[in-house]
Structure 1
Amino acid sequence: MSDETASEETASEESIGVLFVRRDLRLANNPILHHLSVDIPGVIKYTPTHLLVVYVLPPDQVETSGLLKAGEASPYPPALSENSHAWRTGLHRVRFLAESVWDMKESLEEFGMGLIIRVGSFPEVLESINSHYSRLKYGPQVSEVYIAKGYSVDELREEREVFATCTYLGIRYVSFDDRKPLVNLKDTPMSLMDNVPDEFSAFESQVDPLIDGGGASLQEPTWLPPFPNHVPIPPQSGPFEIPNTLVGLIQKLVDPVRLDFSFFNGLDLNGAMPLTRCVGGETRAVAQLRYVIKQGIATRFHESNDLEDSQECLRLAGYLSFGCITARQIHEELLKLENGTEPDYEETDGYNEGVTPGTKALRAELLRRDFLLVSSKKHGPDLYDINGSGPGRNTNIVWKSPNPAKARPDQQPSTLYIDGVMVQFQVGATGYGLVDAIMRQLIFTGHVGTRSHKLIVNFLAKFAGIDWQMGAEWVASLSYDHDTSLQWYTWQHYAGIGPDLSGREAVVSPVHEAFELDPNGSFVRKWMPELRRLTRLSNLFQVGTTSSELLLRFGLPGHVMVTNPVSSDTLNL
């Protein structure tokens, strides 16, 4: 526990602790639930008699108009991104979010507990809850609020708002360090953000020796303070109502943010869509972790091709982003494979063989996530700055923009033209097969791999020279595993303007990358049915190199990928 702030004690014999959950949607390795469930010898602590777990849907981040009562109007503006006006939480992520919250709700109900979902800002929700209990003259009163510390600008702002509201209302505020990272930096020089290096290699060399000394993850609680359903539960305030089923919640959250798929009418995507998709929640996260280890996917991680979206993918990023599982839990499960202590993994490659190249690479990826989390906290709002942050900040780059208010008066091509290019990028019609296939995969599945992400950032920012914020907001909207703490740093880095100067590497050829990542063209053909009959890889990866005779034969001469492929000022293909 850290930076605990106390105020007046409630005079009621019964008390309610309000736990705000955000990106810590799990029972296991949850420091707040652990604190409430155990007695530590020699430590005096105050535990409320009842616990109200609350998930807040902030209207500035999640579009909540689908939750309005019939005939009501929303008091909030649409939850759109600042530059691209894409939904801040789009189709795939809002579904994954709803599933993750509901899974925690059901897990808590097995304890006789519960979880409520409320629309509003954190101060609005807290004030509404406190006001509700204050009107119960002889009932329990809110005595404290618990929250796990976050990393992103939005999370830190929410914490300040909750603290200020608690101070105003006379409620005790208790915050905990979340156990999301693989390595605890609290007792290292990097507990001070200024000491966090800007290069991942330097960070990795310092923290890699700390992995084994990070302490065991916390077990799922066996007891928690009861749910306060012996008195009326605080209702949803304002014009909103919360569905009482997961299906209903998903429908209400998804309806306002549905995509227009008319561009893809008539395209045969049979065989492209995965047979299964990632379902949110701690229950699925634990099952997926055991699956990828048992099937040897973790052992082969160093050889993985992140273009895949099948069950052979690791697919743990979404669970890590929402805190359905933690890096430390993944590390401990890998130890069971490496040390041969889990009989269920006995037939898996690498069983009882110690650290393998695959498990080593997987831990390096977890450390990279740690690095991005603390870097996000270090650089804060600068990660949203179009000019970049840290040592890589560059005010001399002039980005092409579709927004007349941001573009230079003499911008060429025009803002209207760049707007059209952005649409091509979004729907996967740039003329470069691998870039387009990646964007199609993102639209239909919400998935984009690490190397795929690097390619599309490099393509938009360095190859095409277009405002990288436009792409960042679009990908953030659609990615089910988007984590603000990670993704904005990543976009600046691959655009060459981030804190780590290694991101300034030269522009990458989308055609060269295609030959390396998709050597037989199977991924592009899967997602680009218009191009499946092109036999030459050079044509498949750059449609404009196809002869006019073949274009005519396959009905492509008028396609925008042929008539207006995205051009580059930095690379001549």
Structure 2
Amino acid sequence: MSEERIVIYLVRRDLRVADNHILHLLSRHNINDECSYTHLLPVYVLDPDQVETSGLLKNGERSPYPRALSENSGVWKCGLHRVKFLAEAIWDMKERLEELDNGLIIRVGRFYDILESIYKHYSSDKGGPQISSVWMARGHTPEQISEQQEVYTACYNFGIDYVKFRDREPFVDLRDAPLQSVGEVPDVLSDFQRLMEPVIDDARDSIEAPLSLPPFPDHVPLPPQRGPYEIPDTLPELISRLQGPVRLDFSYFYGLDFRGVIAESTCIGGETHGTRRLKHIVKQGAVSRFDTLNDLEESDECLKLTPYLSLGCITARQIHEELLNLENGYVPEYAETQGWEGGENPGTRAVRLWLLGRDFLLLGSRKYRNTLFDLEGSGEGRDPEIEWKSPDPEEACPEQEPCTLHIEGALVQFQVGATGYGLIDAIMRQLLFTGYIGAQSFMLIANFLAKFAGIDWRIGAEWVASLCLDHNNPIQWFRWQQYAGIGPDLNGRDTVISPVHTAFELDPNGTFVRKWMPELRSLTRLSNLFQVATTSPELLLRLGLFANVMVTNPVPSDTLDLGVYASWTVSQVSPDAAGH
């Protein structure tokens, strides 16, 4: 029997080398010491339940798994933009590990099947290295818990040690907080921030990237991909094949002039680009202006760090420490930057409160668990009496108005940005074309679909989840419930945000709406731009908009008569700011 022993590191939402507790521990063990391994095999599993993997099938093969579609709406769970960002993040970690003379293998399948295949591969050669243990960071979402159960079962069946480590996703570790358990997490964001802000200074330090790791076991054949799949050798091919099955139908936009609108995305997945982005926005002074940020547009002033946080390419602790580098003058390259050596300022404090906002949502999701996915809501805001409008005849109330067919059409209009409300439509097109929207935009579209139109909010949540680069299940579903008025925080539960009045506030010149709505650029009056149906018939006819669905069939409000009043504008509602 060989004395070579392999520890498998299952990488999930910890796609980074720095501030990685597992890699830190592995780097500290000398292989000559008495430890349970001599080699390290990092593995990333593309779970076909979460990511559509049919594009990785060999020619002529059929997938043994059902398509990765959402439960309520049937859209892809991981859509066009997200899957590209994910592939880039995986590949970046692979290259970072290779710089440390290690590596990473990508495999398609369910966790149990992948571990079984790897175990059998090595155990078939008694004279070669054997699997000794499986390490992974603990997750708390339903999907992660299910994966962990599969891993535990596989390890138990094959006689392998199974080790779970505390995740490093939160900004402030719960062990350092004045809380005994997640059950004590307040339901109101401001209460949570007041409780946690005093302990920020005690936040645990991030961990430097390791200088070395146990060797990669490529001195013997690596475990092959099981079944009808094949893993590409290059990142461009991996992206192309993962995006193939989930490509979007843009036929609705044929003939519209989007030239100069859709630039190359600045969000490229991976720790390398996430770290570069963090340093860039600090050096540009954006963090010192964060408290005054209007994140409507995809400008360089927006932090755009949440996609990297969501996949664990960077951590909240690293952001906090980069702020300290600016505030305390630790890094000379920031010497000309606003806020240099000035201590915490309103902008950098706002960044830390935003990070605490993410902790609030993460811990709150652990508190309420699966109820975050319930149509009726969670916590004290749960309301089984609301009759949500549905496109499904089996779920819709018999007296539903408009009918299910009309709601189905309204949802398509929502998805392509043709509701008749200029700001909402511009935001939805920004999401569709770039995979990015800011925190204020997220709040607006969620409130619009759920409170303004009264439509089943889960369908909107799944559409946004499919496209949005920064999707993180516990955070985003928690936010959808809150903006739908059925979340644990009762503050603002009856709030309906006027899409028209808010457009005047956030886009006072109509620049953002005109950018993403080329068919409306000739409308000079902002009132027409923000609500197309208010335009005179003569002008609509002259501009070729008379028969446009935004005029003939705008998404109806379930609550507001916009011709008389508007309930709220966005400045009267505080977003949780988790989407920057």
TM-score bracket for the superposition, by shorter chain length? over 0.9
Match of 1:393 in 2: 382
**1:381 has 2:370 as partner:** yes
Structure-1 residue corresponding to 2:221:
232
Please, which of 13, 17, 29 is the counterpart of residue 7 of structure 2? 17
Work out the CA distance in 2 between the residues paired with 1:271 and 1:191: 53
1:12 CA drift (Å): 4.3
Higher mean C-alpha displacement, 493-502 vs 196-205? 196-205
Partner of 1:104: 93
Q: Which amino acid aligns with 2:158?
A: L
**For 1:103-159, what per-residue CA distance to the aligned partner results, in whole angstroms no more than 9, with x for missing partners?**
000010111101000011111111111111110121111111011112322112211
Is the CA contact 2:10–2:44 (under 8 Å) kept in the aligned structure 1?
Answer: yes
- Between 454-463 and 210-219, the greater mean CA deviation after superposition: 210-219
**Could you tell me which of 189, 197, 204 is aligned with 2:193?**
204
Q: Which residue of 2 aligns with 1:4?
A: none
Aligned counterpart, 1:93: 82
Partner of 1:151: 140
Measured against aligned partners, the alpha-carbon deviations of 1:182-225 in whole angstroms (never above 9, x if no partner) come to 10112445352211121112211111111111121101011111
Q: Once the 2 structures are TM-superposed, how far is the Cα of residue 478 of structure 1 from its aligned partner?
A: 0.5
In the TM superposition, 1:5-404 aligns within 5 A as: 12-38=2-28, 46-188=35-177, 190-404=179-393
Q: In the aligned structure 1, how far is the partner of 2:79 from the partner of 2:122?
A: 35
Aligned to 2:491, the other structure's residue is in SS state: helix
Shift of 1:359: 0.5
Q: Which amino acid aligns with 1:18?
A: I
The 1-side partners of 2:172 and 2:34 are apart by 26
What is the percent sequence identity of the aligned residues?
62
Which deviations, in whole Å up to 9, do the C-alpha atoms of 1:62-98 show, x marking residues without a partner?
Answer: 0000000000000011100011111000000000000
* CA–CA separation in structure 1 for the residues paired with 2:414 and 2:115: 41
Equivalent residue number for residue 552 of structure 1 = 541
C-alpha separation in 2, matches of 1:342 and 1:366: 22
1:442 is aligned to 431
Per-residue CA deviations over 1:254-281 (Å, capped at 9, x if unaligned) read 0000000000001111232134431000
CA contact (8 A) 1:36 1:47 kept: no
Letter in 2 for 1:153: P
2:520 to 526, 531, 553: 531
The alignment partner of 1:51 has SS state of strand
Matched, 1:429 2:415: no
Change (3 A) 1:53 1:454: same
| Per-residue deviation, residues 313-340 of structure 1 (Å, max 9, x unmatched) | 2111100000000000000000010011
Partner deviation per Cα, 1:472-514 (whole Å, 9 max, x = no partner): 0000000011111210000001000011112404211110111
Displacement after TM superposition at 1:410 (Å): 2.5
Residues 94, 103 of structure 2: 8 Å contact kept: yes
- Structure 1 Cα separation of the partners of residues 29 and 9 of structure 2: 19
Equivalent-residue separation in structure 2 for 1:97 and 1:540 (angstroms): 36
- Amino acid in the other structure paired with 1:22: R
Q: Does structure 2 conserve the Cα–Cα contact (< 8 Å) formed by 1:277 and 1:445?
A: no
CA distance in 1, matches of 2:399, 2:494: 28
- Residues of 2 paired with 1:184 and 1:47: CA distance? 28
Equivalent residues, number:
560
Deviations 1:449-482 (A, max 9, x none): 1010000011000000000000000000000111
Contact 1:403-1:415 at 8 Å conserved across structures: yes
- The alpha carbon displacement at 1:312 in A equals 2.9
Q: 1:475 and 2:464 equivalent?
A: yes
- Given that 1:432 and 1:542 are in contact with CA atoms closer than 8 Å, whether structure 2 keeps it comes out as yes
**Counterpart in 2 of 1:508?**
497
Q: Which 5+ residue runs of structure 2 have no aligned equivalent?
A: 563-580
Q: What is the rounded CA distance, in whole Å, between the counterparts of 1:276 and 1:51 in structure 2?
A: 34
> For the Cα contact (< 8 Å) 2:178–2:195, is it kept in 1?
no
Greater Cα offset, 376-385 or 234-243: 376-385
User: How many Å separate the matches in 1 of 2:177 and 2:205?
Assistant: 18
Note if contact 1:30-1:178 (Cα within 8 Å) is conserved in structure 2. Answer: no
What is the Cα deviation at residue 231 of structure 1? Answer: 1.0
Q: Distance in 2 between matches of 1:467 and 1:141?
A: 51
Assess if the C-alpha contact under 8 Å between 1:189 and 1:195 holds in 2. Answer: no
Check the 8 A contact 1:543/1:561 in 2, yes or no: yes
Q: Which residue of 2 aligns with 1:407?
A: 396
Greater shift in the superposed pair: 255-264 or 275-284: 275-284
Contact 2:176 2:202 in 1 (8 A): no
Match among 545, 549, 555 for residue 566 of structure 1:
555
1:274/1:310 contact within 8 Å kept: no
Structure 1 unmatched runs, 5+: 1-10
1:25-69: CA deviation from partner (whole Å, max 9, x where unpaired):
0000000000111159xxx97351001100000101000000000
Aligned partner letter, 1:470: I
Per-residue CA distance 1:328-379 (angstroms, 9 max, x = gap): 0000000010011111001111111111111011111111111111111111
TM-score when scaled to structure 2? Answer: 0.95
TM-score, normalised by the number of residues in structure 1: 0.96
Do the aligned residues in 2 keep the contact of 1:271 with 1:526 (CA within 8 Å)?
A: no
Aligned-residue offset at 1:403: 1.1
Does the Cα contact within 8 Å between 1:153 and 1:377 map onto a contact in 2?
no
| Distance in 1 of aligned mates of 2:427 and 2:155 | 45
